[in-house]
Amino acid sequence: MTDSASQPRRTPLTGVHEHLGATLTDFAGWLMPLRYGSETAEHKAVRTAAGLFDLSHMGELSVTGPQSAAALDYALVGEPSALRPGRARYTMICAPDGGVLDDLIVYRLSDTRFLVVANAANTEAVAAALAERAADFDATVTDRTDDYALIAIQGPHAAGILAPLTDADLAEVKYYASYQANVAGKPVLLARTGYTGEDGFELFASPEHAESLWASLSVAGAGDGLIPAGLAARDTLRLEAGMPLYGNELGPALTPYDAGLGRVVRLDKASGFVGRDALAARAAAVPERQLVGLTCQSRRVPRHGYSVLWNGEPCGSVTSGAPSPTLGVPIAMAYVHPDVATAAAAAGAEGAGHRLEIDVRGRAEPATLVELPFYRRQA
Amino acid sequence: MSVPAELHYTAEHEWVAIHDSVASVGITDHAQRALGDVVFVSVPAAGSRVTAGEPCGEVESTKSVSDLYSPVDGEVTEVNAEIDDDPGLVNSDPYGAGWLFKVKLDEAGEMPPGLLSAAEYTAMTKDEE
């Protein structure tokens, strides 16, 4: 007998994915498309043309009210009060000890309205933390996840595909800007944000319009190489782009500084914020770990948790690993001891008498330290 | 889901074709779909011995790695040289060009024990879903 409470939730587009023959998976309690056919083909489509993603599992939290900006300055490590309406910023919410609770994008919709987008697995925890932290401010936190479908179109052809469908002048929609617009006759919050390392747009829409929008975009993009892309491709795309994944590169035992993302922590902002003292101490301290990129010489793929070895000695572990369709070799991000990161970079690819390896299920596979990101799009 | 009637199968989702006491081995359509894009296959070396039910290699895909098991006892006579350059053959043609290795059976002329028929394998995969 199955427990209906444990069945994953359907998004407004799950029926479309089923119709397309997608392999579905339970991701953070949502029935999501892992791949439609070949995840490598989907990845390559995003790099060369465009991919269409259902991201309706993400959490949308509205923070509104006369002191919503101040509340967010206190609750988050960033400075949402400094955002102009129509702008967005990548940021994080940390615990008092500086550990990362989630990474987020905050969109400022107006002087007193913000939309905070959280990872699906953390939505409830982030909503609770925001509500608790906003308690002393004239601000209201509402979980509006069920009020949104989220569709992303990502890739060099994305703007060209979207332009004829919308009244917005896409040339005016800068990176990390958001606009209320009409797309294919439906009202959306249109944002030039993404998680692929390519140009692209994320469309926040009413769930009842999701299927229509998906169909309109699919038809519009059919001649330009647009194909649906699932979570498997999403993961390899963000890995190539050097973007962290909460649960891998970020987590409660890690700070933004560990992940090389100290820039999101505004220690200089006027307000105090949760985690400030711990993060200030961490910023001043000698780092205990460094996030690095690794490319591999064999085709055996490093996976989360595999040990990184420096001259045969463990010096860290892999956080994310996958075959890279763009580079043609397996790539990984890993936390290693900072001294090893320095020494490996100095030694260079030939090793100069040193060995950098990854223990792949009992066999030490040679690896090369590379600067992140692995891939950067042409401007 | 393709399950050719003339082949035999294992619970580890391999197929076996036996001719003149040589068993050809690969992974099934069910397995390649579950794995996604195959990026690398490690097969046992020609000349090495394999034991039924024992891991003898690995199939690596974007999101996972699976052990490859030998369905039979014997000596590996041949491995598919195409797989190294084109591991995607395992996805596109798992029963044909995506074959992985061949084994000369220890027990010539005898059907190896423990193999499933197409009907039994189909029933087994339905149960797993």
Instruction: Tell me if B113 is assigned to some domain.
Output: no
* Amino acid at the residue A203: L
pLDDT tens digit string along A154-180?
999 999 999 999 999 999 999 999 999
Interface mutation vs chain A, best among B29, B42, B62, most A CBs within 10 Å: B62
Class of domain A59-146: alpha beta
A318 touches chain B (CB under 8 A): no
Give DSSP secondary structure letters for A276-337: HHHHHHHHHSPPS-EEEEEEESSSSPP-TTPEEEETTEEEEEEEEEEE-TTTSSEEEEEEE-
With contact defined as beta carbons under 8 Å apart, do A287 and A260 qualify? Answer: no
Class of domain A8-56+148-240: alpha beta
Q: How far is B35 from chain A (nearest CA, A)?
A: 11
Query: Which pLDDT does position B63 carry in this prediction?
Result: 92
What are φ and ψ of residue A125, in 5° steps? -65, -40
> What is the residue range of B43's domain?
8-107
Looking up residue B39, the CATH number of its domain turns out to be 2.40.50.100
**Alpha-carbon distances of A78 from A17, A102, A276, B106, rounded to whole Å:** 36, 13, 11, 68
**Alpha-carbon distances of A371 from A3, A261, A344, rounded to whole Å:** 47, 14, 11
With contact defined as beta carbons under 8 Å apart, do A357 and A367 qualify? Answer: yes
With contact defined as beta carbons under 8 Å apart, do A282 and A290 qualify? Answer: no
Beta strands in A155-306 (DSSP E): 178-183, 186-191, 200-205, 226-228, 290-296
Percentage of chain A beyond pLDDT 70 is: 97
Instruction: Tell me if B73 is assigned to some domain.
Output: yes
Closest-CA residue of A relative to B87 is: A299
Q: What is the CATH number of domain A288-370?
A: 2.40.30.110
Q: How many CB atoms lie within 10 A of CB B55?
A: 14
**Predicted confidence band at A350 (pLDDT cuts at 50, 70, 90)?**
low
Q: How far apart are CA A222 and CA A252, in angstroms?
A: 42
Name the segment(s) of chain A with CATH classification 2.40.30.110: 288-370
pLDDT tens digit string along B4-15?
999 999 999 999
Q: How far apart are CA A179 and CA B29, in angstroms?
A: 46
Non-local (6+) Cβ contacts of A363 within 8 A are: A300
- Look at chain B and report how many structural domains it folds into: 1
Reduced to 3 states (helix: H, G, I; strand: E, B; else coil), residue A208 is helix
pLDDT tens digit string along A53-112?
999 999 999 999 999 999 999 999 999 999 999 999 999 999 999 999 999 999 999 999
Comparing C-alpha atoms, which of B52, B68, B56, B67 is closest to residue B113?
B52
Give yes or no for residue A349 having a pLDDT over 60.
no
Comparing C-alpha atoms, which of B57, B50, B10 is closest to residue B31?
B10
- Residue labelled with tokens 């490093």: A302
Q: How far is B39 from chain A (nearest CA, A)?
A: 7
Give yes or no for a cis peptide into A373 (omega within 30° of 0).
yes
Contact residues of B toward A, CB < 8 A: 33, 36-37, 39-40, 42, 58, 60, 62-63, 65, 91
pLDDT tens digit string along B85-115?
999 999 999 999 999 999 999 988 888 899 9
Tell me: ipTM over 0.85: yes
Instruction: Tell me if B79 is assigned to some domain.
Output: yes
Mean pLDDT calculated for residue range B13-38:
96
pLDDT tens digit string along B31-83?
999 999 999 999 999 999 999 999 999 999 999 999 999 999 999 999 999 99
Mean pLDDT calculated for residue range A41-54:
98
Q: In chain B, which residues have their Cβ closer than 8 Å to the Cβ of A301?
A: 39-40, 60, 65
Give yes or no for residue A301 having a pLDDT over 90.
yes
Comparing C-alpha atoms, which of A91, A64, A97 is closest to residue A78?
A91
Model's pTM, two decimal places? 0.95
Instruction: Tell me if B119 is assigned to some domain.
Output: no
Nearest by CB to A40, which of B33, B37, B42? B37
**Alpha-carbon distances of A57 from A10, A39, A154, A363, rounded to whole Å:** 9, 19, 17, 38
Mean pLDDT calculated for residue range A243-269:
97
Query: Which pLDDT does position B119 carry in this prediction?
Result: 96
Whether residue A301 and residue B40 make contact (CB cut-off 8 A), yes or no, is yes
Comparing C-alpha atoms, which of A110, A109, A118 is closest to residue A60?
A118
Instruction: Tell me if B1 is assigned to some domain.
Output: no
What does the block give as tokens for A237?
């795309």
Instruction: Tell me if B128 is assigned to some domain.
Output: no
Query: Which pLDDT does position A379 carry in this prediction?
Result: 67
Instruction: Tell me if B95 is assigned to some domain.
Output: yes
* Count of residues in chain B: 129
